[in-house]
Structure 1
Amino acid sequence: MNLTLTDVDKNNYEDVCDLTVADNQHEYVADNTWSLVESKFNPSYQTRAICLEGKPVGFFMWVPETKRRISIWRFMVDQNYQNKGIGRKALLLAIDEIKRTDGLEEIEICYNPNNPVAKDFYASFGFVEVGMDEDGEDMLAIIKI
Structure 2
Amino acid sequence: MNVSLEEINQSNYEAVCDLDVTKAQEEYVACNMWSLVEAHYNSGHTCKAIYENKQAVGFFMWVLETPVKMSIWRFMVDQRHQNKGIGRAALTMAIKEIAAYPGIKEIEICYNPKNPVAKDFYSSFGFKETGLDDEGEDMLALITL
**TM bracket (short chain):** over 0.9
Aligned counterparts of 1:8 and 1:32: Cα–Cα separation in 2: 11
Aligned counterparts of 2:100 and 2:83: Cα–Cα separation in 1: 28
Q: Which segment is superposed worse, 68-77 or 39-48? A: 39-48
Determine what percentage of the aligned residue pairs are the same residue.
60
Alpha-carbon deviation of 1:12? Answer: 0.3
What do the CA deviations read for 1:68-115 (whole angstroms, capped 9, x no partner)? 000000000000000000000000000000000111110000000000
Partner secondary structure for residue 42 of structure 1:
coil
Aligned counterparts of 1:134 and 1:54: Cα–Cα separation in 2: 39
What RMSD in Å do the two structures reach over aligned CA positions? Answer: 0.5
Aligned counterparts of 1:20 and 1:58: Cα–Cα separation in 2: 9
Alpha-carbon deviation of 1:43? Answer: 3.1
Return the TM-score normalized by structure 1: 0.99
Does 1:19 find its partner at 2:56?
no
Ranges in structure 1 where 5+ consecutive residues have no aligned partner: none
Aligned counterparts of 2:41 and 2:135: Cα–Cα separation in 1: 23
Alpha-carbon deviation of 1:54? Answer: 1.3
Aligned counterparts of 2:135 and 2:97: Cα–Cα separation in 1: 29
Which residue in 2 is equivalent to 1:93?
A: 93
Output aligned runs, 1:38-117, within 5 Å.
38-117=38-117
Partner secondary structure for residue 65 of structure 1:
strand
Which residue in 2 is equivalent to 1:126?
A: 126
Aligned counterparts of 1:80 and 1:19: Cα–Cα separation in 2: 9
Aligned counterparts of 1:117 and 1:19: Cα–Cα separation in 2: 20
| AA partner of residue 26 (structure 1) | E
What do the CA deviations read for 1:27-74 (whole angstroms, capped 9, x no partner)? 000000000000110132000000011110000000000000000000
Runs of 4+ in 1 over 4 A off after TM superposition: none
| AA partner of residue 37 (structure 1) | V
Partner secondary structure for residue 110 of structure 2:
strand
Partner secondary structure for residue 66 of structure 2:
coil
Ranges in structure 2 where 5+ consecutive residues have no aligned partner: none
Aligned counterparts of 1:65 and 1:104: Cα–Cα separation in 2: 10
